[in-house]
Amino acid sequence: MNGPPIVEAIPTVGRGTELTDAQAELEPLPWHEVERRLNTDAFCWLATVRPDGAPHVAPLFAVCSEARLFVCSKDTARKSRNLVADGRCVVSTDVDAAHVVVEGHGTRLSDQDTLRRASEGVADVYGWPTTVTGDVLDAPFGAPTSGGPPYAVFEIVPDKAFAFPLEGTFLPTRWRFP
């Protein structure tokens, strides 16, 4: 990423979508608020592309640091194999009265410093104790259907992101990442 994301309100267009006077005073959601929301213990959904082009969606933990998302997955899991073959993906969640969608590209991490940052992130956000062992995160436990530790870590670099309010607290917002 080359600088902060470019933020804009998503225009409301069409019959029945006009803003009320109170909504007209609202602002787009700042990116730091998206990072804060992503760093709660909310579950996220990761959508990836299968080799035949079909979509695949799975729940997982995601943490955000410096406009990057980190997700952990067994290296043999479908989502991991999909990301290795084709990094295009979407992470989405509903948290703090907002639908958040992040479109980007995921790559497997092997850098020790970044793996440590991801390990610290999942400990801080989810209370999940992991340790860096080579190019994976090891843990004393994992989700019942995860295949068990250790886990590969993928860094998702956003291309675009969106936030849609469930309540009138901010304008629908789009970010583009230079």
At 13-68, the pLDDT tens digits run: 888 888 888 888 899 999 999 999 989 888 899 999 999 999 999 999 999 998 99
Quick one: pLDDT at residue 152? 98
- pTM beyond 0.85, yes or no: yes
Query: What mean pLDDT value characterizes the chain?
Result: 93
Distance CA 93, CA 166 (A): 12
In the chain, where the domains are located: 6-176
pLDDT band at 1; cut points 50, 70, 90: low
Distance CA 101, CA 139 (A): 28
Say what percent of the chain tops pLDDT 90. Answer: 78
Residue 168 has pLDDT above 90, yes or no: no
Quick one: pLDDT at residue 42? 83
Residue 118 has pLDDT above 90, yes or no: yes
The CATH number of 6-176 is which of 3.10.20.90, 2.30.110.10, 1.10.1740.10, 3.40.50.970? 2.30.110.10
pLDDT in tens, 84-105: 999 999 999 998 889 999 999 9
- Residue range 157-163: mean pLDDT, rounded: 97
Residue 110 has pLDDT above 70, yes or no: yes
